[in-house]
Chains A and B, each alone.
Chain A
Amino acid sequence: DSGVTQTPKHLITATGQRVTLRCSPRSGDLSVYWYQQSLDQGLQFLIQYYNGEERAKGNILERFSAQQFPDLHSELNLSSLELGDSALYFCASSVAWGAANEQFFGPGTRLTVL
């Protein structure tokens, strides 16, 4: 158990819909990262927040957005869903914001878009 929690574990929805994925970082960690993992693309970095502020942005689509709240939990919002958005979405947390810091990954949310 990494100490990072993600909900829900599974999510099945239809194309065009909007979903919200939630992540609670380890106690004491200020940085949260979001990743998308699919069979053909591997693990792709989406976005990082540190203490409520966006720190780095990767290959995140405009249909996707995220935020980190004052209690440090984070949400990833996916809208106008397409079949290709089906993937595992991981959240990770670390103490600080530098990439060399150890990232602890949550169990992931498996999103299926039908």
Chain B
Amino acid sequence: TQLLEQSPQFLSIQEGENLTVYCNSSSVFSSLQWYRQEPGEGPVLLVTVVTGGEVKKLKRLTFQFGDARKDSSLHITAAQPGDTGLYLCAGDFLRVGNQFYFGTGTSLTVIP
């Protein structure tokens, strides 16, 4: 059983389209992070959210943390081929101590 479920698992879109990736759990997060991973490389941190309802923007990427701190979304506006990669959410949970869990991942392909 995965603590963090991401959807969709795969996404293939045309350049210029918008998309949203979701990260959900039945448990409450202490904090949540979004990473992007390119083939053959380690994940790279995009953002950390801590407060319920928090919204953070990073250029064309908008990250939202759910009010109840059980879910998060990543919205990309006007996707570009350089956005292609594996997007991973990761978080630690109040009841689990200091362990850190990664989501199942969303593999995004942006077609020029």
Interface residues of A (CB under 8 A from B): 2, 4, 33, 35, 42-45, 48, 55-58, 90, 92, 97-100, 102-108
- The answer to whether A33 and B104 have CB atoms under 8 Å apart is no
- B: contact size bracket: 20 to 34
Contacts of A55 in B (CB 8 A): 98
CB–CB A45/B101 < 8 A? yes
Residues of chain B at the chain A interface (Cβ within 8 Å): 2, 30-31, 33, 40-45, 48, 50, 88, 90-92, 97-105
User: Do B92 and A105 touch across chains, with their CB atoms under 8 A apart?
Assistant: no
Q: What is the chain B residue whose CB lies nearest that of A43?
A: B102
**Smallest CB separation, A53 vs chain B (Å):** 12
Which residues does chain B contribute within 8 Å of A90, judged by CB atoms? Answer: 42-43
List of A residues within 8 angstroms of B30 by Cβ: 99-100
Contact of B31 among A2, A57, A99 (CB under 8 A): A99
Given the contacts A105-B43, A106-B42, A99 and B105 also touching, CB distance less than 8 Å: no
Q: Which of A42, A45, A58, A92 contacts B42 (CB 8 A)?
A: A92
Q: How far is the CA of A97 from the CA of B31 in the complex (A)?
A: 14
Provide the residues of chain A in CB contact with B45, threshold 8 Å.
Answer: 102-104
Q: Contact between B31 and A107 (Cβ–Cβ < 8 Å)?
A: no
State A90–B31 Cα separation when bound (angstroms): 21
Q: Which residues of A contact B97 (CB under 8 A)?
A: 56
A56 touches B42 (CB 8 A): no
Contact of B98 with A105 in the complex, beta carbons under 8 Å: no
Q: Please, could you name 25 A-B residue pairs with CB atoms under 8 Å apart, sorted by A? A: A2-B44, A4-B42, A33-B100, A42-B2, A43-B102, A43-B105, A45-B99, A45-B100, A58-B99, A90-B42, A92-B42, A99-B91, A99-B92, A99-B98, A99-B99, A99-B100, A100-B31, A100-B33, A100-B50, A105-B44, A106-B42, A107-B41, A107-B42, A108-B41, A108-B42
